[in-house]
Structure 1
């Protein structure tokens, strides 16, 4: 039992080394490889776009037997055109809100031009705003579409239908009505409204002025042309996402969707859920998302599909309600919603609560440990609104967590202090029974019992830190609130690595440091605090374990160099508080703090080895 504490700490540390090493040496190169492949694919597509490729080529959800046919696919130019040129081809109504700008095409009635105000591509406020939606014909079409499919209804609105608008600008409190007469007895109207954030409300109406009844099926979809570049981390989902009634959360990566069975048409694969009520379907990125949201009380069929045409993939999340008959002289109405914007936590939660969207909070990937990550974010957000800085919020929350776990940590450090006080007796026992390990262990156990020492108590501070570390990592990685959130000095984005590098003397030399060896100021500070914390305790008697403990701060320093700066700041601050806490407890228990002696011993051993090597 004498080495149980040390062995457990080593096991935990090595587990962390394996996890972090996998991320540093395997996951990060894989992400870079995927990024390069995506870039090459994008360049190839722009140089030689195959004719007939269409982002509209995905059929709507497969109807029931005897149901309506899918909408006729549109066509795309043989080569993508500049975004502004495509937007100019169709008459449009403007979208202007505090959070969004863009336009809606009167030809086809699609919402296919959306930019996010206040969100830029880089930390520079002068950099371009984030473009979420782009129309068909551009390099990466991404849009939302609403409409009807039906039987014996005559012409229905298509991608080529030219709607008439009641106004020129869609803004909060100022809805727009689109109208179109099919010339066969049906008049279609679409009332579009938008709030001050990211939610569109779309009410489709059909007035039957003909002589016979018709059956129509309302649908909505979000369609994305081309497989986007994804981060590729296991802690983050990117791709198709939805909550489909009692079937709950459904997540499909782009690659996973391509492995599904045939669905709905040629070259199309996918998955459908029939007769579900409540929820949403959509496509999510790390920070942005688009989701089709049906009426929460009406049954519908939800589907994720992928259609392949040559080297082009079209991904679609869609919903279709059951068919309803429209008698002559009657009007049929269907109300659906579209979320298109940033995944702001408070905004998402407000939509779930105020609009009754089932489990809409799952649009944000809180993960399996949501019971830790959600409270962690709420605490950080609370102190952010108090201090105006997420970096300061991290420091405050870390200190509060230290206070919360103070009783457990105190018992651990007291036990460690007692362990240190009996080191001479432990050394004597090892020497006395060096040839009889069983008697040595028995003597150690008697010593622990006599001095009321728990040999594994020192592991608790490490074990407690693991879920907190993971929760903070998750929050920093997935929440848009942390994106481009500054701290002080050179840290302008807590969700990105420390931008400085020791290879160019932290910016003093006039050249950029390579990304594969990224080691900034804060990771070095973290490594120093970790080194000091370890030197608060005596070195393990096992030489191998002692070497592991010596090199662990160096290993962690390089590994955390590519981690979000906010996480590194947390770890450095937590180490500092732990050193102070352990120092106070050891002094209270009358145990000599041998920090400086251990540090001097470390450097003396290093100097001695160098002298021996020279001789």
Structure 2
């Protein structure tokens, strides 16, 4: 029978490997379940009341229903740059502390938005993040609001080519803008847009009916994106369509999913659905998102669509409100909101609470371990506000977690220390009973019982660390607060891998190392602390186990080299604290620390191999 201490250590290593290698796939839903969900969504799309109009997805991506489709004739030259596309239409500027851009008066689209607080790289002079762009630019991405007609509308509805009028000069947090359009039959459309200092636009649409006949209208809002954007493709991160719809709650669909299904739809409050009110639909990237938030007290149908246009797909998330009949001389109002910006935790949570937006905090991909991940973020953010450095916050939170789990960890290490103390007796039992494995097991159990040893206690420190690892990895990976957050020295982005490499002597040699050979200082420090922790224990007699334990720190060093630097710093710091804690407990129980003896043996074996 193998030594119990060695078995426990092997189990701990296996669990750790599962964390690093297998955990990404843990987040991937089984393919069969995804296919079942997809089929259910398609059935739901077909079940939507045909009397309710749907928003089509024409070639320019989001033209109001009933309007003529605007196509580009062969040979037509589109603007070569985003700047040229913006200059080609009449506009009203948007200016806030965090954003700049413009509203396109042709179609009244919000299609030009730059996030001033965020750059493409850690270089402060790099370009700011461009979120939204016009339909005739290279990467169209925009939001649109309007009305769908429930039948023929006298004079027609404003569409993507309608030029709205305004007397306002700019949209700012202090100055809303009002756009107007009057059709030939006497329908007056008025749109008031307000913006706050962060990421929320409020769109209030008014219609005055002076046609002399009743008109039925459906309010809508949409975000449209042309072409397939570059996505990171990690299972731990959702990029694509997102929304909270009806009884199904959170919906997350990739671009490919929607393109294959052609239309996924969920009716939030329609008579045939008996679902809840509230919800939203949108498109999310890792750090940025756009989302349409209808009135949370009224019915709407949420939908995700894809349609080919000019050889490129056009993706759209839209929300269609319930029918509103407007008698002659009456006025109706529809209010919707647009989130367009960085997914800052405090901002997103603030909107969810202020406007009672159902599950809006899930716009940030907290993952299945939401109940651990989000508190972990708040803990890190708390210490960041105190010390101004997320790296320091990681170190402090690690210490606090160590203190919190100290009683359990102490019992584990104490049990491990007792097991080391009785190792001679364990070896004697193994020698005494030879191949009688059942008798060996009985005698070992009696020994554990007599000495009050828990043989699996050594696994607890690793088991405790796994959920913490999950939570910290998720926080570092998905929260924008960690993006480009510096530590000290060469670590200028805790969410990115350590940029140094031992294979070019940490930059002394002018050679850009391949990704597989980029093993930085912090991964090496992590490997050293893991090596020290393993060498504190007696070496296993089995040569295979001995080789595994010797090479495991090296393997983990290469594995963690590609992980966010913040996570590697946490792991190295946690290892160091564990070494100190384990050494203190071993001395307290009178157990010899094998570190130096094991290192001497390893060096001696190395010298012998070199001479041989």
TM more than 0.5 = yes
Q: SS state of the match for residue 241, structure 2?
A: strand
State the partner residue of 1:459.
Answer: 459
Alignment of 1:373-412 (within 5 A): 373-412=373-412
Shift of 1:271: 2.9
Report the Cα distance in structure 2 between the residues aligned to 1:21 and 1:190, rounded to whole angstroms.
52
Q: Which moved more, 1:93-102 or 1:425-434?
A: 425-434
Provide, for residues 419-456 of structure 1, a one-character-per-residue CA deviation record: whole Å limited to 9, x for no partner: 11112222222222223222222222222122111111
Instruction: Check whether the contact 1:586–1:593 (CA below 8 A) recurs between aligned residues.
Output: yes
Secondary structure, aligned partner of 2:146? strand
2:108 touches 2:160 (CA, 8 Å); kept in 1?
yes
Residues 101 and 382 (structure 1 numbering): CA distance in 2 closer, same or farther, change over 3 Å?
same
Q: Aligned equivalents of 1:414 and 1:247: distance in 2?
A: 48
Partner of 1:74 in structure 2?
Answer: 70
User: 2: distance between equivalents of 1:447 and 1:434?
Assistant: 17
Q: Which residue number in structure 2 is paired with residue 235 of structure 1?
A: 236
Shift of 1:328: 1.3
Query: Is the CA contact 1:55–1:223 (under 8 Å) kept in the aligned structure 2?
Result: no
> What's 2:223 paired with?
222
Match of 1:519?
519
Matched, 1:271 2:265: yes
Q: How far off is 1:71 after superposition?
A: 4.7
**CA-to-aligned-CA distance 1:288-337 (integer Å, 9 cap, x gap):** 00001100001011100011235311110000111111111111110000
Separation (CA, whole Å) in 2 of partners of 1:501 and 1:73 = 55
Instruction: Look up the SS of the partner of 2:506 in the other structure.
Output: coil
Aligned to 1:124: 123
Give distance in 1, aligned partners of 2:283 and 2:79: 22
Encode CA deviations 1:319-362: one digit per residue, 9 max, x unaligned. Answer: 01111111111111100000000000010000000111111000
Show the counterpart of 1:95. Answer: 94
Displacement of 1:403 in angstroms is 0.3
CA distance in 1, matches of 2:448, 2:311: 68
Residue equivalent to 1:50: none
Question: Aligned residue for 1:253?
Answer: 254
Structure 1 residues 418, 55: closer, same or farther in 2, change over 3 A? Answer: farther
- CA spacing shift, 1:528–1:362, aligned 2, 3 Å: same
Is contact 1:55-1:224 (8 Å) kept?
A: no
SS class of match (2:517): coil
Partner of 2:49: none
CA 1:605 to 1:226, structure 2 compared with 1: closer, same or farther past 3 Å? same
- Indicate how the Cα distance of structure 1 residues 181 and 9 shifts in structure 2: closer, same or farther if over 3 A, else same: same
* C-alpha contact 2:63 2:160 (8 A) present in aligned 1: no
Aligned runs of 1:464-613 on 2, under 5 Å? Answer: 464-611=464-611
Tell me which of 55, 60, 65 is aligned to 1:56.
Answer: 60
Change (3 A) 1:409 1:2: farther
Pairs aligned (count): 571
Which residue does 1:432 correspond to in 2?
A: 432
- Is the Cα–Cα contact under 8 Å of residues 303 and 318 in structure 1 kept in the other structure? yes
- How far is 1:543 from its partner? 2.2
Map of 1:147 onto structure 2:
146
Question: Distance between the aligned counterparts of 1:348 and 1:251, measured in 2?
Answer: 18
Measured against aligned partners, the alpha-carbon deviations of 1:199-233 in whole angstroms (never above 9, x if no partner) come to: 00000111111111111111000000001111111
Q: Can you give the 5+ residue segments of structure 1 that lack an aligned partner in the other structure?
A: 28-52, 61-68, 261-267
Pick closer, same or farther for the CA change 1:8–1:606 going to 2, 3 Å: same
2:136 aligned with 1:134, yes or no?
no
Residue of structure 2 in register with 1:370 after alignment? 370
- Is 1:281 the counterpart of 2:281 in the alignment? yes
Aligned partner of residue 506 in structure 1, secondary structure: helix
After TM superposition, give the deviation of residue 18 of structure 1 in Å.
Answer: 5.3
- Counterparts of 1:103 and 1:211, CA distance in 2: 36
Query: Cα distance, 1:81 vs. partner?
Result: 2.4
1:168 is matched with which residue? Answer: 169
Give the alignment's Cα RMSD to 1 decimal. Answer: 2.0
C-alpha separation in 2, matches of 1:23 and 1:591: 36
Can you list the C-alpha shifts for 1:517-562, whole angstroms capped at 9, x where unaligned? 2211100000000000001111223322222111110100000000
Pick which of 370-379 and 145-154 moved more: 145-154
1:356 is the counterpart of 2:356: yes
Whole-Å separation in 1 of the counterparts to 2:594 and 2:305: 64
Q: C-alpha separation between the residues in 1 aligned to 2:63 and 2:92?
A: 27
How far residue 270 of structure 1 moved from its aligned partner, in angstroms, is: 3.3
1:538-591 Cα offsets, whole Å, 9 max, x none, are 122332222211111010000000000000000000000000001111111111
Query: Are residues 81 and 54 of structure 1, via their aligned partners in 2, closer, same or farther at CA, if it must alter by over 3 Å?
Result: farther
Cα distance, 1:555–1:512 mapped onto 2, change above 3 Å: same
Q: Give the Cα separation in 2 of the matches to 1:143 and 1:555.
A: 46
CA-to-aligned-CA distance 1:245-267 (integer Å, 9 cap, x gap): 3321011011111221xxxxxxx
Shift of 1:593: 1.6
Q: Work out whether 1:447 is the aligned partner of 2:410.
A: no
CA distance in 1, matches of 2:585, 2:294: 59
Distance change (3 Å), C-alpha of 1:310 and 1:8: farther
Residue aligned with 2:508, SS? coil
User: What TM-score, normalized to structure 2?
Assistant: 0.90
The answer (yes or no) to whether the contact 1:532–1:595 under 8 Å persists in 2 is yes
- TM-score norm. by structure 1 comes to 0.90
> 1:81, 1:137 within 8 Å by CA — same for their partners in 2?
no
